[in-house]
């Protein structure tokens, strides 16, 4: 059925199909680029949190000289002089407060640290985070877990127990007294170095197709792509379709007996249409010779 259509129509249809395929490829490429951009942004946030927690853990705790209404929780306290107190904050508490500050700021990314062995009910994992924790504990090779849902990109990566962590998460009898006093001696103990303690969970708003596209498309790129397709379409019509129409017209005229006008061709070329035109002209000359012989006979 397709064979009955003209080459011009066939080519136009194929050209449209090619455009659709290019557009589809562009869309999938943009989606992949968007995912990579979100993943890199989330990973950068997570690595900063890891560094912050490592700094606090290596120091043991951080001490502050006053508690604000928004951040009134603390691990331990000590008197520095009469009427003045210092308050300590462990890595989990310091990270949770940093998470709250980030969530209340204008930043795009928010994060939280959570674990299946949480000590503070406010740090309990949600469904996504629970799934991520299970994955990391079951598969040592898994380093990231991600999901796109409800217009948000969610990313998680594991937190591994380091030597500094064992002071508060190793054996209960070796933990600081203030840790036992605040959290008890039953939860989040018994870890070994290298174990998955929990995860860093990062939330980012999804990036629209337009935002990603505008990051690498510009008028010059669009113009070059349009010019490439335009030149291809123009060249195909001029160099193939129009020449085939002219050659068809000449073949019809030869069939009607119009043999005097030669077809100008180039023989030293690899152009297939020129080869066809040369063959048609050879047929014309053969007919001329045959007609002369018939007249002589």
pLDDT one-digit tens code per residue, 69-126: 889 899 988 888 877 899 999 888 899 899 988 888 867 889 999 999 998 888 899 9
Percentage of residues in the chain with pLDDT exceeding 70?
Answer: 95
Whole-number pLDDT of residue 1? 56
Whole-number pLDDT of residue 3? 65
pLDDT one-digit tens code per residue, 123-150: 899 999 999 999 999 999 999 999 998 8
Beta-strand relationship, 152-160 and 145-149: antiparallel
Average pLDDT over residues 241-258: 85
Whole-number pLDDT of residue 116? 93
- Region of 202 (left: φ > 0; alpha: ψ -120 to 50; beta: rest) is beta
pLDDT one-digit tens code per residue, 148-158: 988 899 999 99
Is 30 strand, coil or helix?
helix
Whole-number pLDDT of residue 42? 94
| pLDDT of residue 11 exceeding 80 | no
**H runs (alpha helix) in the chain:** 7-59, 91-104, 127-138, 166-169, 177-183, 209-216, 219-236, 242-255, 272-296
Q: How confident is the model at residue 10 (pLDDT cuts 50, 70, 90)?
A: confident
| pLDDT of residue 247 exceeding 90 | no
pLDDT one-digit tens code per residue, 174-226: 888 888 988 888 889 999 999 999 999 999 998 877 777 776 677 787 888 78
Query: Is the separation of the CB atoms in 199 and 237 below 8 Å?
Result: no
Mean of the per-residue pLDDT values of the chain: 86
């Amino acid at each position: 059925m397709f064979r009955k259509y003209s080459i011009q129509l066939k080519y136009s249809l194929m050209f449209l199909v090619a455009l659709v395929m290019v557009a589809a490829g562009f869309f999938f490429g943009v989606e992949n680029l968007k995912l990579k951009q979100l993943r890199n942004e989330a990973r950068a946030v997570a690595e900063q949190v890891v560094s912050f927690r490592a700094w606090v853990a290596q120091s043991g705790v951080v001490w502050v000289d006053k508690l604000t209404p928004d951040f009134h929780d603390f691990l331990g306290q000590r008197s520095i002089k009469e009427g003045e107190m210092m308050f300590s904050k462990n890595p989990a508490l310091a990270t949770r407060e940093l998470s709250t500050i980030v969530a209340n700021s204008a930043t795009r990314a928010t994060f939280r640290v959570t674990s299946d062995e949480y000590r503070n009910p406010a740090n309990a994992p949600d469904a996504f985070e629970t799934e991520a924790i299970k994955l990391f504990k079951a598969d040592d090779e898994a380093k990231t877990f991600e999901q796109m849902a409800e217009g948000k990109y969610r990313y998680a990566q594991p937190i591994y127990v380091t030597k500094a962590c064992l002071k508060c998460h190793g054996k209960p009898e070796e933990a600081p007294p203030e840790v036992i006093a605040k959290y008890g001696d039953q939860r989040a103990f018994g870890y070994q170095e290298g174990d998955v303690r929990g995860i860093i969970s990062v939330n980012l708003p999804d990036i629209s197709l337009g935002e990603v596209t505008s990051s690498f498309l510009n008028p010059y790129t669009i113009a070059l792509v349009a010019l490439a397709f335009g030149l291809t379409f123009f060249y195909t019509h001029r160099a193939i379709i129009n020449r085939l129409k002219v050659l068809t017209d000449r073949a019809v005229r030869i069939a009607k007996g119009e043999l005097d006008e030669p077809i100008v061709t180039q023989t030293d070329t690899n152009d297939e249409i020129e080869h066809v035109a040369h063959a048609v002209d050879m047929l014309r000359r053969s007919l001329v010779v045959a007609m002369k012989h018939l007249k002589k006979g």
